[in-house]
Structures are given as C-alpha cells and as structure tokens.
Amino acid sequence: MLRNLLSLPKRLWEALLWELFRPLGVKKNKVVLQSYYGRGLSDSPGAIAEELLKRGGFELYWVVNGDAAKKTLPEGIKPVKYRSSAFVYHMSTSGFWIDNARKTVRKRKKPSQIYIQTWHGFALKRIEKDAEASLDAGYVRAAKADGAICDLMISDSAHMTSVYKNSFWFSGEILGIGLPRNDFLVRAGEKEKSEIKRSLGFGDGDRLALYAPTFRSDGSLDCYQLDYAALRRSLGARFGGEWTVLVKLHSNLEKYADSLRLSDEGVKNLSHYPDIQKLYVASDVLITDYSSVMFDFMLTSRPCFLFASDVEEYMKDRNFYFALEELPFELCRDVSSLCRAVEGFDEEAYLKRLGAFRERCGIVADGEASKKTVDWMEKKLNDER
C-alpha cells in the first residue's frame, strides 16, 4: 500500500503525458524497442534491432534503465530512459513497439501503431492464464490489457503457438518463424566460438560448462549449492581437458552471486554478462534446472543436464507443460547423480532424444527469424502507402 502511495505522483504524471501526447501524429518508420524493462541490447528485440539497423530506413529507439544498458547500444540506435517523459513521447509517436515482456506500465496505443511481442522463450513452466492462480492480480490485469492491444506474436514452435492462443489473452497474428535471439546461435560456427572465448579470457583449447539456473519465488539459495570441483572432475573424465564452469545466474539472483562461492578455482561468475546467447556459443555443456535456457541450448545439439534438487517444491508454484521425464535431458536431483550422468553421457542416445522432442514440439530455428520479422514490418509499411 505504501509503495503504491509513494508512486502515485509519478503514475499521475505519466497518465497526463500519455493524454498530452495522444493527439500527436505517428511516424510509421519509427521503432521503439525494449528488453525486460530497460536492459541493454539483448534477446529477440536486440536481434531485430540489429536487422533493422542493417536494412536502414528505420528510426530506432531503445529503452534503457541505467548507464550500463545505454553502453550496449551501437551507433544508429538512440537510448530512451524507461518511464521518462521522452519514453512516453516516443512510445506515443512511433509506428512500431517491440518488446519481449508484458508492458505493465500505463500505455495508450493508437490504432495506427503496431505492437510486436516476441516473448522470451519456450515455456516449460506454466505461464499467464495457465498459471493465473499463482500470479499477482495486478500483473494479471496488466497482462490482459497488454494482450488486447498486441498485434503480432513471434513463436518458435507449435507448442508456443498453442500457449499464445490459449493462455495469453491474445487473438492476433502469430508468426511461427523461430526466436530472433536464436538466429546467431543457429548460425554461429567455430570462428564465432573462438572469438567469444577469447573475449572471455579463454583459449580455443579451454573447455567451458555453463551453469544457468532459474530463480525460486521464495528466494531460496540452497538449491544452487553445486559442487563445482566434483562437476569439473566428471566433465574431464568424460570429455577430456581442463574445465571451467561459467555461472550465469538469473537476473533476480545477481545480487546473491557472492553468497554462492563463485570465486572457487575453475569457476567464473558471468551473472552480469549481457548476452547469454554468446555464452551458449562458447560453452561445450549446459547445466540448468527449470530454465528455458535448455531449449535454446538444445539448438546446438551439445550436452545439457538438469540439476534440480527441489522438483516437488518447485512444482507447487507453477507446475509444468511437460513432465521433466519427457524432456530429452537427464534429470539429476543431487550432485552425485549429476556427476554420474556426465560420466555416463551417451551422445548417440541423446541426439535421438533431442530430435524426437524437437519434432514433437514443432520447434523452428532456421537462423532467419530476425529477417522474417523485419520483412513483415516492411510489408506493413508498404501496404499502408
């Protein structure tokens, strides 16, 4: 209650600005993009922004929340501070909005504006209407309003297309073209892998495992206590070489990184690293739990293992669209079983499971999603001329 009262003046000011800017005209080739409420250039909106910049003919604005986000922007993309007066002005006058998360702040979309929602990944956990009982009532109201004004959603699979249709309070067009953020992951080869590894301080011969768990709604940290030394020994025993574990905590957990002993030998904390797609490319193995990162990394066909010691407790919050046993990745409930799974990894059987799961879910990833999204935008512009 106190928080709402303190934010009331800002919300009233924003509401006034939306009304003041409402009569202004819309610039059709102007695009306002954002990722997770003000992060730097990242995720699918970032990939689309790069394609728009390459094509030319668009006026691009990226929503930022802090100087770090601003520094990620290349020349040709202008920063706009999240929830500033400039933010409301550019949102009010742009032809396109592109986002990867719900717009939960006040917004007044005009009929001539086009709102593209890329969302942020293939869902394992139940989301939106399918998890409505566990969601904050304020978020649900905002999500319903957001779905009502969205014009296009980008899907990477038959599974997500079904989720969007049935659970997103959305009835617009869906493009099943793959996630733009995964274009780089699909196209990247050894050259790109080598360049990213060098930028991280590693050589071509260094072996890297990425540990990227999701967050727990209760704030618990016990489930992240991974024995990095034991994991590194098992990786070396099965795959050879000396291994380093790269730790990329969920953004909700970055402030707890020091509590998780991430300064151990052979461990590098990259929780603040802005682009997880590059970490996928650089890494030879992924360890995660319930995070959708597993479905992105699957596109590399490299080994992935699930380390999840709190399955029953976690499922009380959201539950899943798939039983964990249906996934193509081995589920390990403690460090000992994780090490055994690594040491006994069967590549041939694993690749068969990946192929079957991708076919079952209708997963699309041809490296062209950004281009196809911008093609759709250009067609909209040409149709209106």
Residue 185 lies in a domain: no
The answer to whether residues 221 and 246 belong to one domain is yes
Tell me how far apart the alpha carbons of residues 2 and 106 are, in angstroms, rounded to a whole number. Answer: 20
Residue 218 lies in a domain: yes
The answer to whether residues 234 and 377 belong to one domain is no
Q: Report yes or no: 48 and 33 within 8 Å, Cβ to Cβ.
A: yes
The answer to whether residues 211 and 162 belong to one domain is no
Residue 94 lies in a domain: yes
Tell me how far apart the alpha carbons of residues 291 and 173 are, in angstroms, rounded to a whole number. Answer: 27
The answer to whether residues 280 and 132 belong to one domain is no
Tell me how far apart the alpha carbons of residues 371 and 55 are, in angstroms, rounded to a whole number. Answer: 9
Interaxial angle between packed helices 228-239 and 335-343, expressed in degrees from 0 to 180 and rounded to the nearest 10: 10
The answer to whether residues 279 and 141 belong to one domain is no
Q: How far is CA 28 from CA 106, 116, 358, in A?
A: 22, 14, 38
CA torsion, ordered 253, 256, 258, 263, to nearest 10 deg: -20
The answer to whether residues 142 and 23 belong to one domain is yes
Q: Is 307 helix (H, G, I), strand (E, B) or coil?
A: strand
CA torsion, ordered 321, 326, 332, 337, to nearest 10 deg: 170
Q: Report yes or no: 213 and 251 within 8 Å, Cβ to Cβ.
A: no
What one-letter code names the amino acid at 289?
A: D
- Sequence-ordered list of residues with C-beta below 8 angstroms from that of 113, at least 6 positions apart, any chain: 26, 94, 95, 96, 97
Residue 231 lies in a domain: yes
CB atoms within 10 A of CB 282: 23
Tell me how far apart the alpha carbons of residues 127 and 163 are, in angstroms, rounded to a whole number. Answer: 8
DSSP codes joined into one string, 134-157 = GS-HHHHHHHHHHHHH--EEEESS
Q: What are phi and psi of 333, to 5 degrees?
A: -95, -5
Tell me how far apart the alpha carbons of residues 135 and 37 are, in angstroms, rounded to a whole number. Answer: 19
pLDDT of residue 362: 98
Residue 254 lies in a domain: yes
Tell me how far apart the alpha carbons of residues 134 and 317 are, in angstroms, rounded to a whole number. Answer: 7
* CATH number of the domain encompassing residue 121: 3.40.50.11820
Tell me how far apart the alpha carbons of residues 279 and 75 are, in angstroms, rounded to a whole number. Answer: 24
The answer to whether residues 344 and 276 belong to one domain is yes
CA torsion, ordered 80, 33, 45, 282, to nearest 10 deg: 0
> How many domains does the structure of the chain reveal?
2
For 5-14, b where at least 16 C-beta lie within 10 A, e where not — what string?
eeeeeeeeeb
The answer to whether residues 57 and 134 belong to one domain is yes
Residue 247 lies in a domain: yes
Q: What are phi and psi of 267, to 5 degrees?
A: -130, 135
Q: What are phi and psi of 211, to 5 degrees?
A: -110, 110
Q: Strands 285-288 and 207-211, how do they pair?
A: parallel
The answer to whether residues 122 and 214 belong to one domain is no
pLDDT of residue 218: 65
Structure tokens at 166: 């049935």
The answer to whether residues 249 and 146 belong to one domain is no
Judged by phi (left if over 0) then psi (alpha if -120 to 50, else beta), residue 45 lies in: alpha
Q: What are phi and psi of 243, to 5 degrees?
A: -110, 145
The answer to whether residues 65 and 12 belong to one domain is yes
* CATH number of the domain encompassing residue 311: 3.40.50.12580
Q: What are phi and psi of 168, to 5 degrees?
A: -105, 10
Structure tokens at 215: 């967050």
* Residue-range definition of the domain harbouring residue 28: 2-179+366-383
Q: What is the pLDDT along the chain (385 residues), one digit of tens a residue?
A: 545 544 677 888 988 999 999 999 999 999 999 999 999 999 999 999 999 999 999 999 999 999 999 999 999 999 999 999 999 999 999 999 999 999 888 788 999 999 999 999 999 999 999 999 989 999 999 999 999 999 999 999 999 999 999 999 999 999 999 999 999 999 999 999 999 999 999 999 999 999 999 877 666 676 677 899 999 999 999 999 999 999 998 766 666 666 666 656 899 988 888 789 999 999 999 999 999 999 999 999 999 999 998 888 888 777 899 999 999 999 999 999 999 999 999 999 999 999 999 999 999 999 999 999 999 999 999 987 6
What one-letter code names the amino acid at 257?
A: A
The answer to whether residues 347 and 373 belong to one domain is no
- Sequence-ordered list of residues with C-beta below 8 angstroms from that of 363, at least 6 positions apart, any chain: 122, 156, 157, 159, 295, 298
Structure tokens at 48: 């689309």
